[in-house]
Chains A and B, each alone.
Chain A
């Protein structure tokens, strides 16, 4: 697996490093990467001293493990991922990150280390905005969030800014309209800048409507939850370990564990576990090496019909239909 360690920032000095770790080079705003790793558009643009935007529209030809290790902590990232969106139904080439989270919009602090794997064959489309924290703070304070709350959220000693959500359908429309323009054309940088501002406006609207809530999470708690989630993925063929055991592993009370888990990932541990199991079931089914009965056994479903039922409610079609459509 190709491992790519990189960092982001509003200042674009990291672009060269990213290009190098992808074994590519910079050509204007483009990062050109060898076709055997990925093919498509990798494009960065600094819009102002406070905002930088990155567009990634690629197909992966190798498994790539991304490790984000930011050095600067003066910015936040807003990530729009259209690939995993509910509105895009791509069955076989969906990009799956380790610990597949049920989100297509993420707002994260630059202090957060993030690892994720993108599988070979994935089609990935993402818009990332990097914003100086003081600008983000300025926008947020306009929405009427109280200063004391903001002080706590932006307190670098304890908290880390984090939010996962579903992008609004308006954001989705804005991005879709933008996708009609050709990267590198004369008006492209203007359109990309326009896109960044329009998306920020929409985010702010949703914060106003409280559909996005900016909240604080203790960094140590976050690390615990992410760790716990990784453990869950390792055990995904088995049976659900139970909240008591997971909470003990994370050194928390069961109540606190459940609450934090939901806050950070937006799902209960149980739902996360089941959804990942079903994703795995789909992949294994796709490999053609297993019958549905064998799968139910391998993945510890109580019965074949239980698997079928859950599969259908998650993917909208039964495993039988899915296997037939391959």
Chain B
């Protein structure tokens, strides 16, 4: 039986776990795949206080669905979450489809955060929080793993290889962005992450406003702004605009619009000049350079190298 500070793997965090593995001391990998119904005997119990959880969801992408002839639905999701395992209630992963998990012992991660002078980059109370898009290297790795058959004798080797690769990429990202300084409460973190998720659902409209968001999170405006920035290293507003423009880019390339102005309007930008300017500010090119008009075939999306599909 798991107590409050323990997580039992897999029942607790990942019902429907298809594969579990100790990759190396302090690193465990889990695959959750709902295309495979399989009961995993192993029910490992670890002390949550000693671990970070990294969660990768392959359904992370901007999804454009046609609802009817005139209306489109958009769905944009952040597919990568990394938090202290005690903060696991901060997010509710969708246990649909396919996801990949790493459980990382804190001392192990700490080892990879040492600067060249052996000065720990991370203080005792500092933590790691990520809730963002998966980088494409990680995504390709996991996509490749997904094409593998669990019954292949090489599956275990390949899961081990993939886990080490994904962990290495995570280490690189953490070293780029740095830890979140200071202690975080579970409730506050959960609230901040849930407002971030709310923002992701509102990308077609205008920024809901700090007032609204802080009320939603049950905090004062100043606390909300400070905490959001501490965790995500940017303000709620700039996060919102960045994600809005990511969506804009997908819409421009989707081939569902007759004019760039239509995309701007869809996202609530009334002045085409302003839309073009902030778009260029983020991507370094004008919307016109990526725009694909209705009726023209969209360019191929990122696909796996030919070989990796061959299993």
Chain B residue with the shortest CB-CB distance to A195: B161
A201 contacts B158, C-beta separation under 8 Å = yes
What are 15 A-B contacts with C-beta separation under 8 Å?
A: A139-B157, A143-B153, A169-B307, A170-B308, A193-B164, A194-B161, A194-B168, A197-B160, A197-B161, A198-B158, A199-B161, A200-B154, A200-B157, A201-B157, A208-B153
B164 contacts A194, C-beta separation under 8 Å = yes
Is A302's CB within 8 Å of the partner chain B? no
Given A204-B154, A205-B152, A173-B305 contact (CB < 8 Å): yes
Chain A residue with the shortest CB-CB distance to B114: A186
Interface centre among A191, A201, A208 (most CB of B within 10 A): A201
Bound Cα distance from A139 to B154, whole angstroms: 8
Chain B residue with the shortest CB-CB distance to A174: B161
Bound Cα distance from A87 to B162, whole angstroms: 25
Is B171's CB within 8 Å of the partner chain A? yes
Given A142-B153, A187-B172, A201-B154, A194-B305 contact (CB < 8 Å): no
Is A190's CB within 8 Å of the partner chain B? yes
A170 contacts B307, C-beta separation under 8 Å = yes
- Closest CB pairs A-B (n = 4): A197-B161, A194-B164, A142-B153, A198-B161
Bound Cα distance from A193 to B305, whole angstroms: 22
Bound Cα distance from A194 to B24, whole angstroms: 11
Bound Cα distance from A144 to B167, whole angstroms: 32
Is A11's CB within 8 Å of the partner chain B? no
Is B274's CB within 8 Å of the partner chain A? no
Is A297's CB within 8 Å of the partner chain B? no
B28, chain A: closest CB distance, angstroms: 15
For A143, what are the chain B residues with a Cβ–Cβ distance below 8 Å?
A: 153
Number of interface residues of A (CB under 8 A): 28
For A202, what are the chain B residues with a Cβ–Cβ distance below 8 Å?
A: 154
A residues neighboring B (CB under 8 Å) = 48, 139, 142-144, 168-170, 173, 181, 185-187, 190-191, 193-202, 204-205, 208
For A170, what are the chain B residues with a Cβ–Cβ distance below 8 Å?
A: 307-308, 310
Given A186-B172, A190-B167, A208-B161 contact (CB < 8 Å): no
B162 contacts A194, C-beta separation under 8 Å = yes
Apart from the given pairs A187-B112, A199-B161, A204-B152, 20 other A-B contacts in the complex at a CB distance below 8 Å = A48-B24, A139-B153, A142-B153, A170-B307, A185-B172, A186-B112, A186-B172, A187-B168, A187-B171, A187-B172, A190-B171, A191-B165, A194-B161, A194-B163, A194-B165, A196-B161, A197-B158, A197-B161, A198-B158, A201-B158
A197 contacts B305, C-beta separation under 8 Å = no
Bound Cα distance from A200 to B160, whole angstroms: 11
Chain B residue with the shortest CB-CB distance to A194: B164
B113, chain A: closest CB distance, angstroms: 8
For B311, what are the chain A residues with a Cβ–Cβ distance below 8 Å?
A: 205
Contact with A along B278-311 (1 / 0, CB 8 A): 0000000000000000000000000001011011
Number of interface residues of B (CB under 8 A): 26
Interface centre among A170, A191, A195, A198 (most CB of B within 10 A): A198
Bound Cα distance from A173 to B306, whole angstroms: 10
B residues neighboring A (CB under 8 Å) = 24, 112, 114, 152-155, 157-158, 160-165, 167-169, 171-172, 175, 305, 307-308, 310-311
A186 contacts B175, C-beta separation under 8 Å = yes
Interface centre among A142, A173, A185, A186 (most CB of B within 10 A): A186
Given A139-B157, A143-B153, A204-B154, A198-B165 contact (CB < 8 Å): yes
For B163, what are the chain A residues with a Cβ–Cβ distance below 8 Å?
A: 194
For A196, what are the chain B residues with a Cβ–Cβ distance below 8 Å?
A: 161
For B310, what are the chain A residues with a Cβ–Cβ distance below 8 Å?
A: 170
For B172, what are the chain A residues with a Cβ–Cβ distance below 8 Å?
A: 185-187
A198, chain B: closest CB distance, angstroms: 4
B154, chain A: closest CB distance, angstroms: 4
Bound Cα distance from A48 to B164, whole angstroms: 13
For A168, what are the chain B residues with a Cβ–Cβ distance below 8 Å?
A: 307
A300, chain B: closest CB distance, angstroms: 42
Chain A residue with the shortest CB-CB distance to B164: A194
Bound Cα distance from A185 to B172, whole angstroms: 9
Chain B residue with the shortest CB-CB distance to A176: B305
B165 contacts A190, C-beta separation under 8 Å = yes
Bound Cα distance from A139 to B155, whole angstroms: 11
Bound Cα distance from A204 to B168, whole angstroms: 24
A191 contacts B164, C-beta separation under 8 Å = yes
Chain A residue with the shortest CB-CB distance to B310: A170
Chain A residue with the shortest CB-CB distance to B165: A194
A134, chain B: closest CB distance, angstroms: 16
Interface centre among A144, A194, A202, A208 (most CB of B within 10 A): A194
Chain A residue with the shortest CB-CB distance to B111: A186
Given A169-B307, A170-B308, A187-B171, A208-B154 contact (CB < 8 Å): yes
B26, chain A: closest CB distance, angstroms: 12
